[in-house]
Amino acid sequence: MSGEGYAIVLRCRSWSEALRAKRFTWDQIADVIALVHEVGPLRCYRLAHGRTAVDVVDELNALDPAGTATLREGRLYDFEAWPAAGRRPTARVLALLAQVYQTRARNLLTGEVFATYSAHDRDVIDRADFRHLDPFQPFSSCPVQQQRVSMDDEAHPGGPRRVTARSAAEAAALSVESCTALFRAVSAEEADMKRRELLLELSLALGGAPALALLRQLDPDEEARLARVVRAQGRVDAETVATIEKLIARCRRLDDTYGPAKVLSVVEAQRKLVARLLGTQSLLPGLRARLVHAYAELAQLAGYLHYDRLDYPAAERAFDAGLEAAHETGDAVLVAYIHHWHSWMAAFRGDAGTALDHAFATQGWTRRGGSDLVRACNAVSSAWAHGLAGQATEALRGLEAAKSWADRPTSIEPPYLYWVRESRGMEGASCFVYTALGNARKAADTAASQLKALGSGYTRERAFGLIHHGMALIQSKEIPAATAKLSEAVTIMRTHSSARLAHMLTQARQRLEPWSDNAHVRSLDERLRSVAVA
């Protein structure tokens, strides 16, 4: 076997191990390999198993019950090359190969080649079915130990850590359909075979098909550095950490536009990768601090994405992991920022006490940091908590402080706070406070002001602004105008996966219940049903 041929076997073996861990059958893995390598079914199955021709020949010869099999490596290559070249395999050899590959012999041939066999040989081939040997086949009677996977088992900067509660989102691995979609997407997008294989490898390691949008942002050197750490073949250097930081920043932007469905798996996969690097590599103090900081950012972002899916337990665990890492780095601004989102999530759930607790914690850490934008975040989260508690004076005072801090950022603001200024974030946040206080006019005016200045990349914020504006108009009994705003928000929901948007729309629709027979409300109901919001 040539060096290049052996390299292909090794790459396919690596993919196969990853896909078997996701409970792919050998047949499914062979289908995936066929999307990448334009070879016949016989070679696809050998590559799916990650075996050399010598490996297969040795096992096949050992399986022959009569002890008369003398298949040679060269002959196997002839069989794999047929019908373009080589020689057609006999029905008896196909039956033995099906046993080696734990499939049915019919899967090892194309329809055109199968038709060239005699009726007797076709019957032999049809009866040779060894799929029961594959424990992942759905009809297999072989017991398979069920494994539970948790992000918290690995996504921790010090190494694995156990928790008692597990999130379904965290426990989910890439599905068969997702992996197959990934292979098809890469095959359609990339013609160069070597780059196709690299993109597949990186995408599998970074959460599946959504990772492709991120990988397009990397240059060849960045891809190569990332591939080395994914394969555990190289040491982490400053450039590698910079690549990880670049991907984190891009994930935040993608979430602004598309929501957690396209980003969460990628963020959690990056969190796993960084946790593994921190647990396995000896790093210089400065480099380790940067990598721990990257982990803290990933945990904060993961927590936010889980929160946006309304998966509160998973969000809390991710935020807590981020706090632990941020404490290790000594970054007071990042600690404060994570406490802010803890507070904001509690307020969204209507838990004013917990929201105030985290708001006070945020306030303490902001005094140690130098970020005025985080001070703005703290002021608005405190305002919402006070508003929920019925403390209107304190809430309004917090909104004034938030606007003041947001208008005068320092020259050293962290990059992850970009949204505060770009999306007029304090105006959007203020709408939640005014809604809690029942001040419909201020909520409507503030939402309208934000919407007028909002850029195209902030899809979720635009939808929230429309919903707040619509809810304010409902309170003013301006039903046609209210349903128009809410209908616009429903349209946005078709492209953004935030569960909070659906939750808010449901609340808005409940306020319209007295007008259920109104034609505008009935039209809104039709739109809501089209996006599965009752």
Percent of the residues in the chain that have a pLDDT greater than 70, as a whole number: 90
Considering the domain architecture, whether residues 325 and 181 belong to the same structural domain is answered as yes
pLDDT tops 80 at residue 461: yes
Lowest mean pLDDT segment, chosen from 2-16, 431-445, 452-466, 480-494: 2-16
DSSP H helices, 391-439, are: 392-406, 418-422, 425-437
For 308, the token pair is 């946006």
Considering the domain architecture, whether residues 214 and 129 belong to the same structural domain is answered as no
pLDDT score, position 165: 32
The strand pairing partners of 129, in sequence order, are 104
Residues in the chain: 534
Would you say the C-alpha torsion 405, 409, 410, 414 has a positive or negative sign?
Answer: positive
Which of the listed residues 307, 330, 353 is the one where a domain comes to its end?
Answer: 330
Confirm whether 394 is domain-assigned: no
Which of the listed residues 133, 161, 186 is the one where a domain comes to its end?
Answer: 133
Considering the domain architecture, whether residues 320 and 181 belong to the same structural domain is answered as yes
Confirm whether 425 is domain-assigned: no
Lowest mean pLDDT segment, chosen from 53-62, 68-77, 124-133: 68-77
pLDDT score, position 161: 39
Contacts for 187 with CB less than 8 Å, ≥ 6 apart: 35, 36, 196
CA distances in angstroms from 172 to 90, 164, 481, listed in the order given? 43, 16, 42
Confirm whether 50 is domain-assigned: yes
Considering the domain architecture, whether residues 81 and 224 belong to the same structural domain is answered as no
Considering the domain architecture, whether residues 204 and 118 belong to the same structural domain is answered as no
Confirm whether 534 is domain-assigned: no
- As a whole number, mean pLDDT of residues 236-246 equals 93
Cα–Cα dist 493/505, whole Å: 10
Cα–Cα dist 208/180, whole Å: 10
- As a whole number, mean pLDDT of residues 445-464 equals 91
Confirm whether 516 is domain-assigned: no
- Residue 320: exposure state from Cβ atoms within 10 A (0-12, 13-18, ≥19): middle
Considering the domain architecture, whether residues 16 and 84 belong to the same structural domain is answered as yes
The strand pairing partners of 104, in sequence order, are 129
Q: Give the model confidence (pLDDT) of 389-399 as tens digits.
A: 999 999 999 99
Considering the domain architecture, whether residues 193 and 128 belong to the same structural domain is answered as no
pLDDT tops 90 at residue 214: no
pLDDT score, position 174: 60
pLDDT score, position 460: 94
Which of the listed residues 330, 347, 366 is the one where a domain comes to its end?
Answer: 330
Considering the domain architecture, whether residues 128 and 7 belong to the same structural domain is answered as yes
**Domain around 214:** 176-330
Considering the domain architecture, whether residues 181 and 235 belong to the same structural domain is answered as yes
pLDDT score, position 202: 87
Confirm whether 188 is domain-assigned: yes
Percent of the residues in the chain that have a pLDDT greater than 90, as a whole number: 59
DSSP H helices, 158-263, are: 168-171, 176-189, 193-205, 211-215, 220-230, 238-258
Confirm whether 238 is domain-assigned: yes
Q: Give the model confidence (pLDDT) of 60-75 as tens digits.
A: 888 765 555 578 889 9
Count up the domains in the chain and report the number: 2
pLDDT score, position 154: 42
Let me know: does 508 contact 487? Beta carbons within 8 Å. Answer: no
pLDDT tops 60 at residue 147: no
Considering the domain architecture, whether residues 312 and 200 belong to the same structural domain is answered as yes
Residue 481, helix vs strand vs coil: helix
Q: Give the model confidence (pLDDT) of 329-373 as tens digits.
A: 999 999 999 999 999 999 999 999 999 999 999 999 999 998 999
Considering the domain architecture, whether residues 182 and 317 belong to the same structural domain is answered as yes
Let me know: does 521 contact 512? Beta carbons within 8 Å. Answer: yes
pLDDT tops 50 at residue 172: no
DSSP state of 262: G
Confirm whether 528 is domain-assigned: no
pLDDT band at 181; cut points 50, 70, 90: confident
Would you say the C-alpha torsion 290, 406, 315, 487 has a positive or negative sign?
Answer: negative
pLDDT band at 146; cut points 50, 70, 90: very low
pLDDT band at 309; cut points 50, 70, 90: very high
Q: Highest mean pLDDT: which of 20-24, 131-135, 256-260?
A: 256-260
Considering the domain architecture, whether residues 183 and 105 belong to the same structural domain is answered as no
